[in-house]
Structure 1
Amino acid sequence: MTTIRAIGSLCVTDSDGHIINHSDWNNINPIFLPVINDVVHTYSTHLQDDLHSVYIRGSIPRGIGIVGVADLDTIAITKQKLNNLQLKRLKDVEQELTQKHTCVDGIELSVHCMEAVLNTSSFSIISFILQTHGMCVFGEDLIPQLPKYKANEALANDHLIHLQGQIKNACDDLQDNSDIEDIKDCCKWIMKIIVRAGLALIITKKNTYTRDLYPAYKMFSKYYPEKESDMRKALEYAITPIVVTNLLLSFLNEFGTWIIIEADKWLKFYNPNRELNMKI
């Protein structure tokens, strides 16, 4: 049985309701510094003059990353959009870095063009993550140029409007899949999405947010106690992915269908025109 630790917290906001970023160099456990430096070196080597800046986010810059359990989530901002070949090379290197550094459970390399990040007329999840959870570890820090964000409809919408497609993609990926690592990655990915979507359903009720899975699960369960056991299972699968595809598919077809229906109700009320990115 998966041991669920009560780790994480709801985001703290300022007097105007804007989410406060608590990522800081002083919070980072020194054991993670070599892998952070290696990631920066990797981006610099592969992107060269196209690289503008590098950021880390998640539990590690907040000082709650558990050695051997935490992922290192990173974002590189480039001066121009990369081609598919460049993106594929980075994905290949991602696996090599994960195998090399045992102090983290996984390493995520992601790349976004500076022009898209700075286009702030409507909600952008990358801009949001950088402003509320990111920390610059290389290059010119773009965070001061980004808007401040609240836990509101625009944020909830980003979690809910893509949900049906994401669950369908997960089901398609799991069907007839025999690659153990691929199944684990898919399981972890879609279950995190489901847990955070559960919180998104009640963001407008509580005006609060977290990317941490445990408090998201607890907050959801207060409003949907009849679905607590299902969301707990999603949390367990996110922490300890399983590889039995028929169990995963059954769960996605049942609880996944339920949460898609709830998301659709939310969208009909708050976003009837189905805007992908609502105004902030």
Structure 2
Amino acid sequence: MLNEDGTIAREGALTYVPEVFAPVVDAARARIGEVFGPTRLHSAYLYGSIPRGTATPGVSDLDLLIVLREEPTEADRAAAAALEAELDARFPQIDGVGALLAGAGTVLSELERYDLGFFVACLCTPLLGEDLAARLPAYRPTSLLARETNGDLELFLARWRQRLAGAPAGRERARLARAVGRHLVRTGFTLVLPLRGDWTSDLDEMAEAFAVHYPRWAAPMRTAVAVGRRPADADAAVLDMLVHDLGPWLAAEYRAVHGVKAPRP
């Protein structure tokens, strides 16, 4: 979705949160403030299907970004992990909680301008504190944005292969499958982002936008959508195809079209 001037519009809002998830969001707001406190916490955000209004009770997870005044410490990460477990256990409406941590300085840095900065400005919904979007630029669907958001797929492929080699089972395997499916779909979409000239976070729309330009890989990309939505149903052969076939081709094509994302420390 674009603004009238052709820049990418912010996709979520607290007014879009379905009523069934309102207690979850209220509890997250309260507990984030209590856990991190005003001296550590700069701001907090929702992202994903809940603030977009498309979440499914009992299936969707709660996605949070917690921005601290300083860079996160190991103690902060442990506190975030405990918060994830607490909220997940309290609310049957959600299936899992993911809380990302970042320092405000990192969000506003030049290095993260077209990755984490874009994420906050366009894909995150303010929940607590100062909205850093006011200090970030407007964004357009350009090759630069594509490169800096998803131009590091090869790094993820290496990690996924290591995790698959460990023969994950149960919930761990489902979480890996969900991450693989959704990441590949989003990477496929941003590969064609400048050609589409618009932004969406709907997985089906992303896959179909990709299929227009890469019909040969349309079926594997639609499989990635299915895995991202129903990770518990993904068998070993499907995961192997995504990580060893679609993934490497997509990484190579991405590098040829947009280049490689600027390295992070």
* Structure-1-length-normalised TM-score: 0.85
Q: Does 1:35 align with 2:21?
A: no
Aligned to 1:258: 249
Asked whether the 8 Å contact 2:42–2:67 carries over to 1, the reply is yes
How far is the alpha carbon of 1:121 from its aligned partner? 6.8
Aligned to 1:208: 198
* Structure 1 gap segments, 5+ residues each: 1-11
Q: How does 1:1-280 map to 2 (within 5 A)?
A: 12-48=1-37, 49-120=39-110, 123-242=113-232, 244-245=235-236, 247-267=238-258, 271=259, 274-276=260-262
SS in 1 for 2:100: strand
Cα deviations by residue, 1:93-147 (Å, 9 ceiling, x for unpaired): 3133223211122221111111111224763422212211222121222222221
Asked whether the 8 Å contact 1:175–1:245 carries over to 2, the reply is no
SS in 2 for 1:61: helix
How far is the alpha carbon of 1:68 from its aligned partner? 2.3
Aligned to 1:7: none
* Structure 2 gap segments, 5+ residues each: none
Asked whether the 8 Å contact 2:118–2:139 carries over to 1, the reply is yes
SS in 2 for 1:137: strand
Cα deviations by residue, 1:163-208 (Å, 9 ceiling, x for unpaired): 0110111111111224421111111112111001111111122222
How far is the alpha carbon of 1:275 from its aligned partner? 4.9
Asked whether the 8 Å contact 1:123–1:154 carries over to 2, the reply is no
Code of the residue aligned with 2:187 in structure 1: it is A
Cα deviations by residue, 1:201-260 (Å, 9 ceiling, x for unpaired): 111222222222110011111111121111111111111114644542243112222212
Code of the residue aligned with 2:244 in structure 1: it is N
- More displaced 10-residue stretch of structure 1: 186-195 or 171-180: 171-180
Asked whether the 8 Å contact 1:52–1:139 carries over to 2, the reply is yes
SS in 1 for 2:3: coil
Code of the residue aligned with 2:262 in structure 1: it is L
Separation of aligned partners in 2, 1:88 and 1:276: 28
Separation of aligned partners in 2, 1:228 and 1:261: 17
Compared CA separation, residues 167 and 41, structure 1 to 2 (3 A): same
SS in 2 for 1:17: coil
Asked whether the 8 Å contact 1:75–1:110 carries over to 2, the reply is yes
Q: What is the aligned residue count?
A: 261
Code of the residue aligned with 2:17 in structure 1: it is I
Question: RCO (CA 8 Å, sep 6+): is it higher in 1 or 2?
Answer: 1
Compared CA separation, residues 121 and 17, structure 1 to 2 (3 A): farther
Q: CA RMSD in A?
A: 2.0
User: How high is the sequence identity, in percent, across the aligned residues?
Assistant: 22
Greater helix percent: which structure? 2
Separation of aligned partners in 1, 2:48 and 2:241: 30
Asked whether the 8 Å contact 2:141–2:198 carries over to 1, the reply is yes
SS in 2 for 1:35: helix
Compared CA separation, residues 179 and 113, structure 1 to 2 (3 A): same
* Structure-2-length-normalised TM-score: 0.90
